[in-house]
Amino acid sequence: MQVAKIGIVGAGQMGNGIAHVCSLAGYDVVMSDISEDALAKAMSLIDKNMSRQVSRGKISDAEKDGALGRITTTTDLAQVGPSDLIIEAATERETVKQAIFEDLGPHLLPHTILTSNTSSISITRLASRTDRPEKFMGFHFMNPVPVMQLVELIRGIATDEETFRACKEVVDRLGKTSATAEDFPAFIVNRILMPMINEAVYTLYEGVGSVRSIDESMKLGANHPMGPLELADFIGLDTCLAIMNVLHDGLADTKYRPCPLLTKYVEAGWLGRKTQRGFYDYRGDEPVPTR
């Protein structure tokens, strides 16, 4: 099956990045969100990020203009339905994702492939709530989407080979690399990354090191480009906690127990960069550790 039109549900951090790379690859994109304001912000950010690519010689002005012209936005989910491939990129809550797929159902074409950008939720379970579990996959981009090269492709138990091949061809056309993951909690990247972040929070919680010393140690001692607590703030502490809960619940192993300090930060609404406070306070000129 040839994919020509891609629908994207959600215009947040992940959704606008996916729209960015898909439109640059020549796909017609329809991006939806419940908020007109969110859509306007997403288009402004895509324009800004593409302009940065132009200034660095990555793309031409003509390529930028062509890509922006291929993106349409809507608050009407029904307009996303008649796409060849739909990528759901809403918040990491299973009930929200299930409701989106249910609302899309009556508007889909017979051949439409449904995918979710979930970073941890069962693809098999999401697929089972649709009318096409054989045409359903996990399509997990890394953040920030225009920069990161990996896409995890996750088959549910019912996913057929044609669906997998069509999704892999899209990843190839985007100029990215696909990694095939089995449908177990958090797949590959977050199965490894989130326990590391959680352990860094435990290291802070137990007083082994300060925020700054933990991050500096991993940057300089393990050659990580970003410290684990800085990275947690970038991802969103609520997202980190949600994934740790999926791991803990899904694998029933105490090694995945979320650190109480991570839970406390989320309860306080200190979710990282998006709320200006997390393990660092971002309200000044320079980020300052909050512990």
Whether 20 sits among the annotated catalytic residues: the reply is no
Residue 107 annotated in active site: no
The catalytically annotated residue of 20, 23, 152, 230 is 152
- Is 33 marked as a binding-site residue? yes
Longest dimension (CA), the chain: 56
Query: Binding residue per annotation — 69?
Result: no
Name residue 72's beta-bridge partners.
30
Q: Is 79 annotated as a binding residue?
A: no
Angle of the 211-221 helix axis to the 189-205 helix axis, nearest 10: 140
| Residue 169 known to bind ligand | no
Say if residue 16 carries a ligand binding annotation. no
**Would you call 140 a catalytic residue per the annotation?**
yes
**Active-site choice (32, 190, 198, 230):** 190
- CB-neighbour burial class of residue 170 (10 A; exposed 0-12, middle 13-18, buried 19+): buried
Is 119 within any annotated ligand binding site? yes
Q: Tell me if 13 is assigned to a ligand binding site.
A: yes
119 is catalytic: yes
Closest CA relative to residue 269, chosen from 237, 243, 240, 244: 237
10 is in an annotated binding site: yes
Query: Which candidate in 119, 120, 122, 178 is catalytic?
Result: 119
Catalytic residue among 140, 178, 198, 230: 140
Distance of CA 244 to the CA centre of its chain: 16
How many contiguous H segments (helices) and E segments (strands) does the chain have?
Answer: 11, 10
Q: Which residues are catalytic?
A: 119, 140, 152, 190
Binding site feature residues for NAD(+): 10-15, 33, 92, 97, 119, 143, 274
Binding site feature residues: 10-15, 33, 92, 97, 119, 143, 274
